[in-house]
Structure 1
Amino acid sequence: MSIVDKPAFGLTAALLSFVALTAPALAATRNIVLVHGALVDGSGWRGVYDILTRDGYKVSIVQQPLTSLDWDVAATKSVLDRQDGDVVLVGHSYGGTIVTQAGDDPKVKALVYVAALQPEKGESTAQLLQSMASPTNDIKPTKDGFLRIDPAKFAADFGAELPKDQAEFMAWSQMPVAVAATEAKVKVAAWHDKPSYAIVATDDMTINPELERWMYKRAGSKVTEVAGSHAIYISQAAAVAKVIEDAAEAAK
């Protein structure tokens, strides 16, 4: 090797050393797919999205129609198809039912449930909610076969700790969920075959926290309890993002 070649060799060695040192961090699953629940849309994930993208993750948000479980699962799988590698799939509320079935996609390496339903194969959202009553019972059917919360009760039921103007806007921009979607039974429970993480919202007034604990224990999920309402993914975005990142780091 000539003297001219030595600096290039030194630079190459330094770059290789840097890659070796950073390889464990880069080996983590970098794709995160977020699935919203009933009565809301994907914009509520903004705080979690901002944290995850800042930390180097590629984040995609599903905007499912809430018209049927099959359509909601199809919308989620469409987003999964666009990912360029392994995925951590995250669901809030009814979104937990969706990710339980959509999570059988081979790209999905871990599931995260955020104050979410976690059905067994053959169970439905409605079946689980009826098995252990929520602290309130303000979700009512409409004449055209959907479910919604009286806007006057939305803040107290869904996000008591949210700023008043934010909760009011969410109340009047609800995405009602089809009754048929909540009654549909999941065809597969992906948490049987993939690691799952779960967050109990200890002040949840929409899903009974005891139901959350029961489902997550049944599934053997790694559980984190966080003080907050059903809207914990908004009000406690940092805590939720931390659990998602833990799942991604473990899914190497």
Structure 2
Amino acid sequence: MPVGACAFYREDMSSDPTIVLVHGAFADASSWAPVTRRLLDLGYSVLVPAVPNRGLDSDAAYVRSIVEQIDGRALLVGHSYGGAVITVVGEAENVVGLVYVSAYAPDVGESVGQLQAAFPDPELAANLVYTYFPSGGTEPGMDVSVDIDAFPRVLAVGVPDDVAEVLAVSQRPLAAVAFGDIATSAAWRTRPVWGLVSSKDRSINPDLQRFVYARARAHRVIEVDAPHLVMQTNPGEVAALVREAVESVG
């Protein structure tokens, strides 16, 4: 346990899994910062990897390589597209549970794009920007990001204006191929699941979130009156759900 950890919250945290927070599209590891701080203050071991956002297969392989090098068990927490990533990564032997936060949770053979198409388009769909990047192949790749002016309204309602402005201009784009990549495994079929629905989400339809959590037979689902970036607006509630999952598997 790290020096200065608040050990008084639990008599013995040595058996607790490492919490791995996986960010989604249009964000980076810093998007988890308010939740990360709370979990560290509770004395938990936490990792927040930088997801490349280049495609589901490669992103899952990268995150899994980190998870499998953890000395002990791991609890995966995925936000948005990060939910699709943990759905695949969760097959790793040391993963003991999955927490979905405003997230996708595809089934085997299903893509994020297919899930999205089954529900009315959120406001995000009309505010995406497409740009090319060198892919090393004969054709350039295509990145997807959110229009900077629309970002605060679409993803970050309730986030302080100065913070939303910084998040808007420091996005981590998602390669367009990721929307069509199919999940090769669905760890929610074999791992316990918890879910959080952002009821004011304008990026992923809240009904989509409710559907995938129900399909995964989540142990518990909470609804928060919050936007897509619920980790920024309601970090206490997110951290409380993660803590509940940790205590359940621990």
User: After TM superposition, is the score higher than 0.5?
Assistant: yes
Pair 1:63 & 2:22 matched:
no
Counterpart residue number, 1:127 = 114
Pair 1:141 & 2:139 matched:
no
Task: Check 1:216–1:105 CA distance in 2 against 1; reply closer, same or farther (3 A cut).
Answer: same
Are the aligned partners of 1:87 and 1:107 in contact in 2 as well (CA < 8 Å)? yes
Task: Check 1:65–1:209 CA distance in 2 against 1; reply closer, same or farther (3 A cut).
Answer: same
Match runs of 1:87-236 below 5 Å: 87-136=74-123, 137-143=126-132, 144-221=141-218, 222-236=220-234
| Superposition deviation, residue 139 in structure 1 | 2.3
Q: 1:35 and 1:220 mapped to 2: Cα distance?
A: 21
Please identify the structure whose Cα radius of gyration is greater.
1
Counterpart residue number, 2:65 = 78
Are the aligned partners of 1:200 and 1:213 in contact in 2 as well (CA < 8 Å)? yes
| Superposition deviation, residue 185 in structure 1 | 0.2
Are the aligned partners of 1:92 and 1:115 in contact in 2 as well (CA < 8 Å)? yes
Q: After TM superposition, where is structure 1 displaced by more than 6 Å over at least 4 residues in a row?
A: none
Pair 1:39 & 2:26 matched:
yes
Q: 1:24 and 1:80 mapped to 2: Cα distance?
A: 26
Q: How many aligned residue pairs are there?
A: 231
Identity %: 35
Q: 1:125 and 1:241 mapped to 2: Cα distance?
A: 25
| Superposition deviation, residue 79 in structure 1 | 1.6
Normalised by the length of structure 1, the TM-score is 0.88
Task: Check 1:81–1:232 CA distance in 2 against 1; reply closer, same or farther (3 A cut).
Answer: same
Unpaired segments ≥5 residues, structure 1: 1-21
Q: Decide which of 235, 238, 243 is 1:237's aligned counterpart.
A: 235
Q: 2:176 and 2:201 mapped to 1: Cα distance?
A: 21
Counterpart residue number, 1:4 = none
Normalised by the length of structure 2, the TM-score is 0.88
Q: 1:195 and 1:169 mapped to 2: Cα distance?
A: 35
Q: 1:76 and 1:113 mapped to 2: Cα distance?
A: 16
Are the aligned partners of 1:28 and 1:249 in contact in 2 as well (CA < 8 Å)? no
| Superposition deviation, residue 214 in structure 1 | 1.0
CA RMSD of aligned residues (A): 1.6
SS in 2 for 1:33: strand
Unpaired segments ≥5 residues, structure 2: 1-8, 133-140
Q: 2:193 and 2:165 mapped to 1: Cα distance?
A: 33
Q: 1:164 and 1:150 mapped to 2: Cα distance?
A: 16
